[in-house]
Amino acid sequence: MEKTAYIDRTGGPEVIQWRDEQLLPPAKGEVRMRHHAVGLNYIDTYHRSGLYPIELPGKLGSEAAGVVEAVGEGVTDFEVGDRVGVFGPARGAYATARNVAVDLLVPLPDSVDDRTAAAILLKGATTAFLIEECAKVQPGWTVLIHAAAGGVGHLAVGWLKAIGATVIATVGSEAKADKARAAGADHVILNRQEDVAARVREITGGAGVPVVLDGVGKATWEASLDSTARRGLVVSFGNASGAVDGVNLGILAAKGSLFVTRPTLFDYAVTPQEKRSLMARVFAMLEKGAITPEIGQSFALTDVAEAHRAIEAGDTVGSTVLIP
């Protein structure tokens, strides 16, 4: 019997329930994957809370690393024993094992262990598309990134430094400030104590930054706009503090003809080729030490409700890994 997490209704972490499940043999185009490490992502809390609606009853979990245990008809790219990772819109990673379509899999290099993979697949692919494909950050640019000691944030700081950007990081505590500095941030702003936009203007000689990477959402939206240079870009990619809504487009003109985008990884990593291309760049950055898998905490997979409480309280640092 396998264990799989389900929700029958949306709500707090207490709605997550574990059920025993007998898996069928993998269908055509699927493999059975045994999970060795599962990544926690903020998006999992949106699925659970209902911010991002899912069909109910529904499964949770967007990222895992493990091994192929059985292959279905027509599968030629993977065989039993292959180490693989999965990330993406198909939920169900909160499970000891599952059947999964091969199109969702990425092969794992020998140099990347299961925990590291679970820490950097989804968050690394996000970092890659945000910086390289969405904001198209160039060497010499100064980038403001919020929650810089978080899962995506920590990876993004290292990535930005590796491509020659200057990084202004915001964080919620002194301990997180140390993490952001260790990742390479040039300037660190304590967002609960300082006026973020005023500090950014001070650091940039009044100009503001050409790019803001904002995964915090509601709480940082105004500061992000006020920190952006004339004709600069705000990439609003998450809702850790709540969703940004009710925006009057005229504000973009008033603040300096700004650009705003609200991207999702799942439009940048759709085909297997797009996923593998993003992951190749993530693994290359890992290999050369530009990004490090900062696993700040791990939990038993069946304690995932506790992990949800921790990430929603802002108590996690770096990535969080769940162990089956």
Residues of the shown chain interacting with ligand NDP in the complex, contacts defined by CB under 6 A: 41-43, 123, 126, 147, 149-153, 171-172, 176, 191, 215-216, 219, 237-241, 263-265, 311-312, 314, 316
66 bridge partner residues:
35, 84
Rounded to a whole number of angstroms, the minimum distance from the CB of residue 321 to ligand NDP is 12
Residue 249 C-beta: closest distance to ligand NDP, Å? 21
| Residue 216 Cβ vs ligand NDP, minimum distance, rounded to whole Å | 4
Secondary element (H or E) of residue 126:
helix 114-128
- The nearest distance, CB 288 to ligand NDP, in angstroms, is 22
Amino acid 141 reads: W
* Distances in whole angstroms, Cα of residue 18 to Cα of each of 14, 40, 60, 85, 142: 11, 16, 11, 22, 45
Q: Based on CB atoms, which residue is closest to ligand NDP, 42 or 283?
A: 42
Question: For residues 18 and 52, which CB has a smaller minimum distance to ligand NDP in the complex?
Answer: 52
Q: Which residues pair with 295 in a beta bridge?
A: 319
Task: Report the nearest approach of ligand NDP to the CB of residue 265 (Å).
Answer: 3
For ligand NDP, the closer of residues 175 and 280 by Cβ is: 175
- For residue 104, give Cα distances in angstroms to 22, 127, 309: 22, 19, 28
Of 31 and 94, CB closest to ligand NDP: 94
Residue among 198, 199, 153, 210 at smallest CA distance from 177: 153
Q: Least Å distance between CB 297 and ligand NDP?
A: 10
Residue 224 or 239: the one with the smaller Cβ distance to ligand NDP is 239
The pair of three-digit structure tokens given for residue 185, joined into one six-digit string: 């941030």
Give the residue carrying structure tokens 């969702």.
104
Q: Which residue's CB is nearer to ligand NDP, number 229 or number 265?
A: 265
Residue from 83, 76, 71, 101 nearest 35 by CA: 83
Q: Which of 63, 58, 53, 69 is nearest to 5 (CA)?
A: 58
For ligand NDP, the closer of residues 142 and 236 by Cβ is 236
Cβ neighbours around 250 below 10 Å, total: 8
Whether 170 contacts 149, CB under 8 Å: no
Q: Smallest distance, Å, CB 108 to ligand NDP? A: 20
For the chain, give the number of residues.
324
